[in-house]
A and B are shown apart, each in its own frame.
Chain A
Amino acid sequence: MVRQIINPYKEAVDIVKEMGGEALRLCYQCGLCTGACPWNVLKSFPVRKLMHEAQLGLLDFEAEDMWACVTCGNCVQQCPRGVEIIDVMRAMRRTIVALGVGPVPDSLRVTMKNLAGTGNPWGEPTEKRADWAQGLNVKPFSNGAQMLYFPCCTTAYDASVSRIGKATATVLQKVGASFGILGSKEACCGESARKAGDEELFQRLVQENTAAFAESGASTMVVSSPHCYYTFMNEYPIAQNGLQVLHSTQYLAGLLREGKLKFSKEVKKRVAYHDPCYLGRHSGVYDEPREVLSSIPGVELIELPNNRENSICCGGGGGNVWMETKPGERLAEVRAEQALDVGADVLALACPYCMLMFEGCLTQDVLDRLELRDITELVAEAM
């Protein structure tokens, strides 16, 4: 079929070109992005071709490819022409959502609707947002507290991930930190809404949360999710409001350096650390998690073949955490295999989405051999 350079969705294409900006025009079609993309191990995902289609305005908005990018940033980091590939992917989705030029995957549509209605991806009642902390004696944030803890929706609502919140609260209590939570006053940071193309919803969540943070008067915030961390640091007007944001591993590393993190037990395990995309590549935090892990008595820290800048996505970024992942297309499995290959007993994580993805993707057989633990859990266990 001969395809003409005339697109029925001119307006849509223009939006993509504009958002991709000057950098998109610079793409010289070398194909490094396709090769750098973690998907190419499992399936065909023609990143370079999408860039060229975007340049020429020949995008097929109905294709599944519109939704595959996990926004891991591996391609952007290496692109020789500095193309902001993730921005282009985001622009394509945004166009689809805003102008209806193509289908949005069902599961994602439901998630966005829930987010819009209740401020969390499951549509759970707002009042239950603090339920994870029941029985832990965690206080609502008050002006006297030094620190606000922001757990992430997944930590707050997902039964199997809430252990991250619990472990974090326990550690904070044990080191005697004065902290509190906002509970029903906070909402999702909106990162995945934005990556899924729902810009309007994202902007609304930014406003709601910014107002809530301002009202609380908090000056320091510790977060469990690298996605929240990245978004607050880069896409919220947080700095203007004088709020310092720390990922839990940064906070723990700080305590460690000040000599305030003390351990009393050994955790005799071979631990491999999986760098989350939004903590590593997107935020440049590589050392703190390793510092904390290697300080735990008994822990033998080993590196995965793809580590630090070269880490592989769990498959959950870019809204994929809310979408179906077909068997055989699970990056988490690739990652778990790497961990088992290097002889790890534990795969240490630092991101609620990663936890959710690994829990959901790995078979029981693998889970029996490879424990999934958040770094805060390992710290709590050793204290």
Chain B
Amino acid sequence: MEEPKIGVFICHCGTNIAGTVDIDEVREFAAGLPGVVSARDYKFTCSEPGQLQIKEDVKNLGLNRVVVAACSPRMHEITFRKAVAEVGLNPYLLQIANIREQDSWVHKNGSTEKAKALIRAAVQRANLLESLERREVPVTPSVLVVGGGIAGIQAALNIANANHKVYLVEREPSIGGRMIQLDKTFPTLDCSSCILTPKMAAVGSHPNIELMTYSEVEDVSGYIGNFKVKVRKKPRYVDSELCTGCGICIEKCPWKTDSEFDMGLGKRKAVYTPFPQAVPNVPVIDPDVCVYFEKGTCRACEKFCPPGAIAWDQKEETVELEVGAIIVATGYDLLDPSPLTQYGYKRLDNVITSLEFERMCSATGPTGGELVLKDGSAPQSVAIIHCVGSRDKNYCEYCSRVCCMYALKYSHLIGEKTDADVYQLYIDMRCYGKGFEEFYKRLSDEGVNFVRGKVAQVTDQVAGEEEQGKLVVVTEDTLLGRMLRIPVDMVILCPAMVARADADEVARRFLINRGADGFFLERHPKLEPVATASDGVFVVGCAQGPKDIPDTVAQASAGAAEALSLIDRGTVEIEAATAVVDEEMCSGCKICLALCPYNAITFDEEKKLANVNDILCKGCGVCVAACPSAAITGRHFTDKQIFAEIDGLLADVKPPLVAV
């Protein structure tokens, strides 16, 4: 190996590092380390002039290794790798010493000493770095979108309009998601159906979109640019090719059950579309409700279907797809408020959830858009309880972000439909979005009663004449500092938005992570808001966390742009820091095979040797550590490199007490 000529570049990061680390002292120390030919500092090494400093030194001083002492490699390793590559240095000959997150940000004392140790470690490691070549592989130019809510719809249309193939997989019989369940939408009060159904129709007829409803992704394998996906299509028992969507089968079917779409407030038939504007407009037969599946009789639908589309012998089908990128847009559920017994949901009549209220308000809903109590009369007074389970360490610690606004929207809708008095029971009004404060003002003007307090109880135990036959909302009005009893006819609960019940399974299937709140985790909250831990898999909409429609749509477009920029390039670079098996040393024990989380290791039965597929390998190093014959090397993280780094880090540390 050539004689190492190392340049060390120390970043001040404004005062982030220079505020606690003595830069001059560290620079002089670095200059004296073996192999270092120059040590420099700069205010912001990541900036244009900062990068130029590095490039000039590589050219002028003939540096063949570069150490940047700055922030976390997760932040700027790519930036600096690019910079050195531009002047002809192999990007793997760059080493980062993280003296910000691991030093200046977390230590009040001793951060200068620690910076020195970290830089010495990086320099010692840099001495042993080797060039690695990245490989490029071709990309399959199509995208899988999972979930057909507004997020999935938006992403699918963006990609399809750019002339790329999209497979949109939706679990329910129709696309539309939660948004199609809503009546009007804040802050502009446009009708949800009016703005969404045209988009749904566009998805249904788009030549570049293959819509797979009533389907779920069963298995994902492969890697960025080249995923293989298995999709399970449930039998509809209606032939989509023959069905004209006339709806006669639904009319004739005598069997009913609670409608999921109407939150159980209305009924649907055994053969049904969830709602009249469904896309695709092809019904499904629910085998749990249809008596034909139980008793072999009825078949009313079949008798009347003009084109003869009923297909009893349909079977579940599995389809295999190849895609270059995946967008997960599986949305959210609402917290079931029944365990919060103080609110009386499911125990007291006329205590309903927000989604139930949306269905009630909808012209296509179970009451034809009328706001009615259990007994059919119109409410005289309504209480809307915010933060049901949100912002509460006993349930969901986070804010659900949309409830304040839709609760305001409800004041307006109630006012449109009835003369009822409306009480908003809130903790804090959070109306932060564009047009939101204006909406808050408008509703204040419409005459809403705002009571600041977290409701302690909703009860039917009345305490006086005026409470007779009412639901009583008991709360402290924290602004008055007084306990209030508010008698109302209807209580609307705004439950927390929560991750889908099957989020864990979905996360495992797509190899993505979940945050403490249960939602899918983005790679970086600010700079990579739709990327995930899995390269080529993106997450958008409420699957990533509670948000309103404008934010969902913006995120979905971002996800589409990311996916497009990936598949449009035609190729992807494959990480070179992967594991490699030394054939001489492998004993064929197969321990590594079971451990690899990415199924990247195969076994050559003839030679009795393990083999790492370096396209699938992510370089996590599990096999390297586990191999009892030390036959596997992690490229860019060889034992020698790691030990050199440790030695550098601990050079000043006295030998520790030996543990027994």
| Chain A interface residues (CB < 8 Å from chain B) | 28-32, 34-36, 40, 44, 46, 48-49, 78-82, 305, 310
Counting residue pairs across A and B whose Cβ atoms lie within 8 Å, the total is: 59
Q: Which of B394, B428, B455, B482 contacts A44 (CB 8 A)?
A: B482
13 A-B pairs (CB sep. < 8 Å): A30-B453, A31-B453, A32-B454, A32-B456, A35-B454, A35-B457, A35-B475, A44-B483, A48-B476, A78-B342, A80-B392, A80-B393, A80-B454
Main secondary structure of the interface of A (DSSP, over half): loop
Closest chain-B Cβ to A53's Cβ sits at a distance in Å of 11
Return the chain B residue nearest A49 by Cβ.
B481
For window 425-482 of B, CB contacts with A under 8 Å fall at: 427-428, 452-457, 461, 474-478, 481-482
- B393→A31 contact, CB < 8 A: no
C-alpha gap A49/B342 in the complex (Å): 22
C-alpha gap A49/B481 in the complex (Å): 7
- B394→A80 contact, CB < 8 A: yes
C-alpha gap A78/B389 in the complex (Å): 11
C-alpha gap A79/B395 in the complex (Å): 11
C-alpha gap A29/B392 in the complex (Å): 13
Return the chain A residue nearest B456 by Cβ.
A35
Closest chain-B Cβ to A64's Cβ sits at a distance in Å of 16
Which chain B residues border A79 with CB–CB below 8 Å?
393
Given contacts A32-B453, A32-B455, A35-B474, 13 further A-B contacts (CB under 8 A): A28-B428, A30-B453, A30-B454, A30-B478, A32-B476, A40-B456, A40-B474, A48-B476, A48-B478, A80-B391, A80-B392, A80-B393, A80-B454
Given A30-B454, A80-B454, A81-B393, the answer on whether A35 and B483 have CB atoms closer than 8 Å is: yes
Closest chain-A Cβ to B254's Cβ sits at a distance in Å of 43
- A30→B427 contact, CB < 8 A: yes
Which chain A residues border B475 with CB–CB below 8 Å?
31, 35
| Chain B interface residues (CB < 8 Å from chain A) | 341-342, 387, 391-394, 427-428, 452-457, 461, 474-478, 481-483
Which chain B residues border A35 with CB–CB below 8 Å?
453-457, 474-476, 483
Which chain A residues border B393 with CB–CB below 8 Å?
79-82
Q: Which of A31, A78, A81, A310 contacts B476 (CB 8 A)?
A: A31
Q: Which of B394, B427, B456, B474 contacts A28 (CB 8 A)?
A: B427
Which chain B residues border A46 with CB–CB below 8 Å?
476, 481
Which chain A residues border B392 with CB–CB below 8 Å?
80
Which chain A residues border B387 with CB–CB below 8 Å?
80
Return the chain B residue nearest A309 by Cβ.
B341
C-alpha gap A305/B391 in the complex (Å): 28
Q: Which of A29, A34, A82, A305 contacts B483 (CB 8 A)?
A: A34
C-alpha gap A79/B427 in the complex (Å): 13
Return the chain A residue nearest B427 by Cβ.
A30
- B456→A36 contact, CB < 8 A: yes
Which chain B residues border A40 with CB–CB below 8 Å?
456, 474, 476, 483
- B391→A31 contact, CB < 8 A: no
Which chain A residues border B428 with CB–CB below 8 Å?
28
Which chain B residues border A36 with CB–CB below 8 Å?
456
Which chain A residues border B481 with CB–CB below 8 Å?
46, 49
Return the chain A residue nearest B475 by Cβ.
A35
Q: Which residue of B461, B474, B476 has the most chain A CB atoms within 10 A of its CB atom?
A: B476
Which chain A residues border B452 with CB–CB below 8 Å?
31
Given A35-B455, A35-B456, A80-B454, the answer on whether A29 and B478 have CB atoms closer than 8 Å is: yes
Return the chain B residue nearest A34 by Cβ.
B476
Closest chain-B Cβ to A302's Cβ sits at a distance in Å of 17
C-alpha gap A330/B387 in the complex (Å): 33
C-alpha gap A305/B481 in the complex (Å): 27
C-alpha gap A11/B341 in the complex (Å): 42
Return the chain A residue nearest B478 by Cβ.
A31
C-alpha gap A35/B481 in the complex (Å): 11
Which chain A residues border B453 with CB–CB below 8 Å?
30-32, 35
C-alpha gap A291/B474 in the complex (Å): 33
What are the nearest 7 A-B pairs in CB distance?
A35-B456, A31-B476, A80-B392, A30-B454, A34-B476, A32-B454, A31-B478
C-alpha gap A44/B341 in the complex (Å): 24
Return the chain B residue nearest A52 by Cβ.
B478
Which chain B residues border A49 with CB–CB below 8 Å?
481
Return the chain B residue nearest A310 by Cβ.
B341
Return the chain A residue nearest B474 by Cβ.
A35
Closest chain-A Cβ to B660's Cβ sits at a distance in Å of 27
Which chain B residues border A32 with CB–CB below 8 Å?
453-456, 476
C-alpha gap A40/B484 in the complex (Å): 10
Closest chain-A Cβ to B278's Cβ sits at a distance in Å of 39
C-alpha gap A35/B473 in the complex (Å): 10
Q: Which residue of A29, A34, A35, A48 has the most chain B CB atoms within 10 A of its CB atom?
A: A35
Return the chain A residue nearest B341 by Cβ.
A310
Q: Which residue of B392, B428, B452, B454 has the most chain A CB atoms within 10 A of its CB atom?
A: B454
Closest chain-B Cβ to A116's Cβ sits at a distance in Å of 38
Which chain A residues border B477 with CB–CB below 8 Å?
31
C-alpha gap A49/B482 in the complex (Å): 10
C-alpha gap A215/B456 in the complex (Å): 48
Return the chain B residue nearest A81 by Cβ.
B393
C-alpha gap A70/B391 in the complex (Å): 27
Return the chain B residue nearest A74 by Cβ.
B456
Closest chain-A Cβ to B633's Cβ sits at a distance in Å of 47
C-alpha gap A29/B427 in the complex (Å): 8
Return the chain B residue nearest A80 by Cβ.
B392
Return the chain B residue nearest A39 by Cβ.
B483
- A78→B394 contact, CB < 8 A: yes
Return the chain B residue nearest A40 by Cβ.
B483
